Structure 1
Amino acid sequence: MTDIQDQTRRKSRRALVGTVRSISGTKTINVVVDRLVKHPMYGKYVRRRGRLAVHDPRGEAAVGDLVEIVPCRRLSKTKSWRLVRVTRPSDAADGDRGSA
């Protein structure tokens, strides 16, 4: 595969924004992602919530942070998302950042 095809392929990946709900290991965080789905019969937009296991290799996310995540290769049974960056840190003190 050429470099141009590889770059185009990577750009098509969707990035999601969610909130860190818990830290479940040294390199794993649980992120809640909200999305709006149109109801098939009534047409009303309904809020759906998904809970994803996300790989955080540097341990930079803390509970309550708003984070951006992208899909990656499967890392474990439930973990197939990777942390890109912390969009907005939580209001909590920075002293507990990165603790597991």
Structure 2
Amino acid sequence: MKKQTYCRQLKGVVTSNKMNKTVVIEVSRVKKHSKYHKIFAVSAKYKAHDETNSCRIGEQVMIEACRPMSKDKKWSVVKKVKAVS
């Protein structure tokens, strides 16, 4: 029986594609304050590997965790969810 491996996946927007085979993805989440119960948005930026240099700024993409490729790059682009027109 083959074991299934779970890779963490996130959906975000491409904010920069200036680097070679690397894009910066901004992932936004909604959190709730534990004491005051106020709902607020939190965003984080991740560097992700883009082998084909095909991602453009503004596109929605799905990224998943992978082995570390550099000091900051530990994610890779899986697929484009929504393209820019």
Same fold (TM over 0.5): yes
* 1:15 corresponds to 2:9: yes
Cα distance in 2 for partners of 1:14, 1:26 equals 24
More helix by share: 1
Q: 1:13 offset after TM fit, Å?
A: 2.1
TM-score (norm 2): 0.91
Cα distance in 2 for partners of 1:13, 1:38 equals 25
Aligned to 2:68: 74
Aligned to 1:4: 2
Which of structure 1's runs of 4+ aligned residues deviate more than 6 A? Answer: none
More strand by share: 2
* SS of corresponding position for 1:4: coil
* 1:39 corresponds to 2:33: yes
Asked which structure has the greater RCO (Cα within 8 Å, sep 6+), the reply is: 2
* 1:29 corresponds to 2:23: yes
TM-score (norm 1): 0.79
* 1:88 corresponds to 2:75: no
Cα distance in 1 for partners of 2:73, 2:18 equals 12
Q: 1:30 offset after TM fit, Å?
A: 0.5
